[in-house]
Structure 1
């Protein structure tokens, strides 16, 4: 098994923030993506409590759209979990243990029928799109776990 670098930084190479997405273990008894959550990592941190070190991540969650992969692409679709407070929509954030992260995930924004505005790049795509494909074709390991 190889190691992966998960990034959560305020500024990537002098530009905007970089927040990587990950697969988080939900239920080891369920096959493929049914046993996983998709999440975006906002902050990586650790702390010590009563002599034990805890490595954690602050993540925002993505919930599946439907109960099976998309018929046309074979990829699962997800949407960000949001809490609605009046007119404001806020991402649902949670602190999790790094031990529950399986590996990096690749989300592809679902554009629909309209053209994308100029300037939409990977640095803001998680903020622009309302739905995403979970890219199981990103690499061999993704294809093995996100079916």
Structure 2
């Protein structure tokens, strides 16, 4: 990571734009993708989203390629998108995402179900560890499932818009679709 002194100051940044969704397009030859093999999915990052009578923010999770040469889920990071934005610096336009990273809990997947467990990353003071990444590092959307511990009942007031804020750990679901299975296995 470059030192902060190498980063541009605000006086040179122009044309800042915020987006509430992005399309991830990746090569995945299969029946749903057609013979060209391009598959497209939408990654949402919206402050107010309404579905089934519930209104709240929608901040999807993503898989990030951070340059690791490890195969499958070992070589990818998981993050939650909080903001999609772009800005111009001189003639060049940078498309970025503000993310909250998740950390792997173990060195191997859960032996009972084969899924990796991730936990939200917080600093020593309890604040989210946030980062800005280039949109080109996004591989695809990720699906996280809460890890239920003990026999603790879940309050009825909690709905799907709060799940990623309430639970302490999540399974990275490689069974959500064929492409996720191929990417994460």
TM-score category (smaller protein) = over 0.9
Q: 1:112 aligns with which of 142, 146, 149?
A: 149
Q: Which residue of 1 aligns with 2:48?
A: 11
TM-score (norm 1): 0.94
State how far apart, in whole Å, the 2-side matches of 1:27 and 1:142 are: 19
Distance 1:65 1:28 in 2: 18
Q: TM-score, normalised by structure 2?
A: 0.75
Q: Which has the larger radius of gyration?
A: 2
> Of residues 84, 103, 111 in structure 1, which corresponds to 2:124?
84
Q: Are 1:97 and 2:134 an aligned pair?
A: yes
C-alpha displacement of 1:28: 4.4
Q: After TM superposition, what 4+ stretches of structure 1 lie above 4 angstroms from structure 2? A: none
2:162 counterpart of 1:124: yes
SS in 2 for 1:4: strand
Counterpart position of 2:183: 145
How many aligned residue pairs are there?
A: 144
Write the distance in 2 (CA, Å) between the matches of 1:16 and 1:40: 15
Q: What runs of 5+ residues in structure 2 fail to find an aligned partner?
A: 1-37
User: How many angstroms apart in 2 are the aligned matches of 1:28 and 1:82?
Assistant: 22
How large is the RMSD of aligned CA atoms in angstroms?
1.1
